[in-house]
A and B are shown apart, each in its own frame.
Chain A
Amino acid sequence: MITDWPILTTLILLPIVGGVIVLMLDSNLAKKLSLFFALLTLILSLPLYIEFDTSTALMQFSENYQWLSVFNIRYSLGIDGFSMPLIILTTITTLLVIIASWQTITYKTSQYMAAFLIMEGLMIGVFCALDSIVFYVFWEAMLIPMFLIIGIWGGKNRVYATIKFFLYTFLGSVFMLIALIYMGNMASSFAILDFHSLKLNNTEQILIFLAFLIAFAVKVPMWPVHTWLPDAHVEAPTGGSAILAAIMLKMGTYGFLRFSLPITPDAASQLDLFVITLSLIAVVYIGFVALAQHDMKKLIAYSSISHMGFVTLGIFISFAIINNQDIAGAALGIEGAMVQMISHGFISAAMFLSVGVLYDRMHSRKIADYGGVINTMPIFGAFVVFFAMANAGLPGTSGFVGEFMVILASIKANFWYAVLAATTLIIGAAYTLWMVKRVFYGEVKNENVTSLKDINKRELLVLASLALFILIIGVYPDILTRVMHATTDNLLQHISISKIK
Chain B
Amino acid sequence: MKSIYLIIVLSPLFGAIIAGFAGKLIGKTATHWIATGSVAFSFIFSMVVFKVHIFDNIGAFDETIYQWMYSGGIFFEIGFLVDNLTVIMMSVVTFVSLMVHIYTIEYMKDDEGYTRFFSFIALFTFAMLTLVMANNFMQLFLGWEAVGLVSYLLIGFWYKKETAIYANLKAFLVNRVGDFGFILGIALIVAYSGSLHYGQVFDVSSDLDRIQLNLLGYDIPLITLICMLLFIGAMGKSAQVPLHVWLPDSMEGPTPISALIHAATMVTAGIFMVARMSPLFELSEFTLSFIMIIGATTALFMGFIGLVQDDIKRVVAYSTLSQLGYMTVALGASAYSAALFHLMTHAFFKALLFLSAGSVIIAMHHIQDIKKMGGLKKYMPITYWVSLIGTLALIGFPGFSGFFSKDAIIEAVAHSNIFGSTYAYVAVLIGVLITSLYSFRMLFLVFHQKPRMGNKTKSHLKECSPIITIPLILLAIPSVIIGAITIEPFLFGDLLKTEIFVLPAHDVLGQMGQNYNGVFNFIVHSFYSPVLYLALSGILISGLIYLKYPFVADILGKRLSILIKILQYKYGIDELYKIIFAKASIYLGSFLSKTGDKTIIDGWIVNGSALLVQKISIVGKKMQTGFIYSYALVMIVGLIVLSIFLINF
A contacts, CB < 8 Å to B: 164, 168, 224, 227-228, 285, 288-293, 328-333, 335-336, 372, 374-375, 385, 389, 394-396, 400-401, 404-405, 407-412, 415, 418-419, 422-423, 425-427, 429-430, 433-434, 437, 440-443, 475-478, 481-482, 485
Contact = CB atoms under 8 A, between A and B. Distances in A.
A389 B149 CA distance: 8
Contacts, number: 148
Given A224-B601, A411-B184, A415-B188, 20 more contacts: A224-B605, A289-B589, A292-B593, A332-B71, A332-B74, A394-B145, A396-B146, A401-B69, A407-B184, A408-B72, A408-B74, A418-B187, A422-B183, A427-B585, A430-B585, A433-B172, A442-B162, A442-B165, A481-B69, A485-B71
Contact of A408 (B187, B589, B593): B187
Interface string B238-256: 0000000000000000000
Given A164-B606, A292-B586, A395-B141, A227 B160 contact: no
B176 interface: yes
A331 B72 contact: yes
Contacts of B169: 433-434, 437
Contacts of B145: 394-396, 400
A123 to B, nearest CB: 26
A375 B589 CA distance: 30
B569 interface: no
7 smallest CB-CB distances across A and B, nearest first, come from A332-B72, A292-B589, A291-B589, A292-B590, A441-B165, A411-B187, A288-B589
Interface string B68-102: 11111110100000000000000000000000000
20 contacts: A227-B601, A288-B585, A289-B592, A291-B586, A292-B592, A330-B72, A404-B141, A409-B72, A411-B190, A418-B184, A426-B176, A429-B173, A430-B173, A430-B585, A433-B152, A433-B169, A440-B159, A442-B165, A478-B68, A481-B69
A442 B159 contact: yes
Nearest to A406: B187
B25 interface: no
Contacts of A481: 69-71
A442 to B, nearest CB: 6
Contacts of A401: 69
B207 interface: no
Contacts of A164: 606
Contacts of B159: 374-375, 440-442
A410 B74 CA distance: 14
Contacts of A333: 72
Contacts of B606: 164, 168, 227-228
Given A227-B601, A408-B191, A478-B67, A425 B589 contact: no
A53 B617 CA distance: 56
Contact of A291 (B152, B165, B585): B585
Contacts of A335: 71-72
A79 to B, nearest CB: 20
Given A285-B592, A288-B588, A291-B589, A328 B602 contact: no
Which of A328, A411, A443 has the most C-beta atoms of chain B within 10 angstroms of its own C-beta? Answer: A411
Contacts of A423: 180
Given A331-B71, A395-B146, A288 B160 contact: no
B463 interface: no
B73 A329 contact: yes
Most buried by B among A291, A374, A419, A475: A291
Interface in B138-176: 138, 141-142, 145-146, 149, 152-153, 156, 159-160, 162, 165-166, 169, 172-173, 176
Contacts of B601: 224, 227
Contacts of A168: 606
Contacts of A331: 71-73
Secondary structure class of chain B's binding surface, majority of residues:
helix
B42 to A, nearest CB: 19
Contacts of A443: 160, 162
Most buried by A among B70, B76, B191, B592: B191
Contacts of B190: 408, 411
A481 B180 CA distance: 25
A385 B169 CA distance: 12
B176 to A, nearest CB: 5
B411 interface: no
Nearest to B159: A441
Contacts of B191: 408, 411-412
A328 B194 CA distance: 11
Nearest to A164: B606
Nearest to B158: A441
Contacts of A288: 585, 588-589, 592
B282 interface: no
Given A331-B71, A331-B72, A433-B172, A395 B142 contact: yes
Contact of B172 (A227, A330, A422, A429): A429
B321 to A, nearest CB: 22
Contacts of B187: 407-408, 410-411, 418, 422
Contacts of A422: 180, 183-184, 187
B489 interface: no
B556 interface: no
A330 B72 CA distance: 6
Nearest to A412: B191
Which of B72, B187, B606 has the most chain A CB atoms closer than 10 A to its own CB?
B72
A375 B160 contact: yes
A394 B183 CA distance: 12
Nearest to B610: A167
Contact of B177 (A374, A426, A434): A426
A227 B191 CA distance: 36
Interface string B424-443: 00000000000000000000
Contacts of B557: none
Nearest to B600: A224
A461 to B, nearest CB: 16
B596 interface: yes
Given A290-B589, A433-B172, A477 B184 contact: no
A408 B13 CA distance: 29
B72 to A, nearest CB: 3
A373 B73 CA distance: 46
B63 interface: no
Given A426-B177, A442-B159, A336 B71 contact: yes
A411 B142 CA distance: 20
A474 to B, nearest CB: 10
B173 A476 contact: no
Contacts of A476: 66, 68-69
B419 to A, nearest CB: 26
A476 B67 CA distance: 8
Contact of A329 (B72, B213, B605): B72
Contact of A289 (B69, B70, B142, B593): B593
Nearest to A436: B169
A309 to B, nearest CB: 14
Interface string B201-230: 000000000000101000000000000000
B601 to A, nearest CB: 5
Contact of B70 (A409, A415, A478): A478
A289 B596 contact: yes
A407 B187 CA distance: 7
B597 interface: yes
A331 B74 CA distance: 10
Contact of B180 (A396, A409, A425): A425
A456 to B, nearest CB: 18
B514 to A, nearest CB: 43
Contact of A396 (B69, B142, B186): B142
Contacts of B141: 395, 404
B179 interface: yes
Contacts of B166: 437
Contacts of A290: 589
Nearest to B165: A441
A24 B588 CA distance: 51
